[in-house]
Amino acid sequence: MILVLLLAACSDHRAAFEIEGSAQHSLTLIRVQTFPWEKTARYSLVAARLPECQRRHDLGAGGADSRVEVYSPGNDAWILRQGKRMYVVETRTCEGFARLEAEPEGGTGALQGSFQMRGGQFVFVSTPKAAEGAPPETPAGR
């Protein structure tokens, strides 16, 4: 009986960022937490551009509630930022994956959104697109 309770405690959450609105071209983040009271989880990423390629990459352990931001520098490359850790992955062949020691010289590209826990669910939250022609926001008091 105790074994059943321990197995039930493990949580496996998945959320997908559908690139250009297609489930065929996506980044899916998998978050596995062994026990609900643990403050860390194991993360892995599945890069897919079906039917050409699909590959799973290990991100290692991270904070159980940490956000993973997704940036688009272009050319089917994607930069993921989890706290101070950064990774680059590509979806042309789905083979390219590396941990970055510093932000790329050309920058990270546009923020697409972030994987995060919301209301007990693991989801991808897209970044709202700026309204066309709207002036840039300025800090209050300027």
pLDDT in tens, 78-88: 999 999 999 99
Give Cα separations from 23 to 3, 20, 28, 50, 83 (angstroms).
Answer: 36, 9, 10, 9, 27
CB 49 within 8 A of CB 91: yes
141: left (phi over 0), alpha (psi -120 to 50) or beta: left
**pLDDT, mean over the chain:** 86
| Number of residues in the chain | 142
Percent of the chain with pLDDT over 90: 68
> Which residue's entry shows tokens 């939250």?
125
So what's the pLDDT on residue 9?
A: 58
pLDDT, tens only, 59-68: 999 998 899 9
Q: Does the structure show a pLDDT above 60 at 98? A: yes
For position 137, what pLDDT does the model report? 37
Res 1: pLDDT: 45
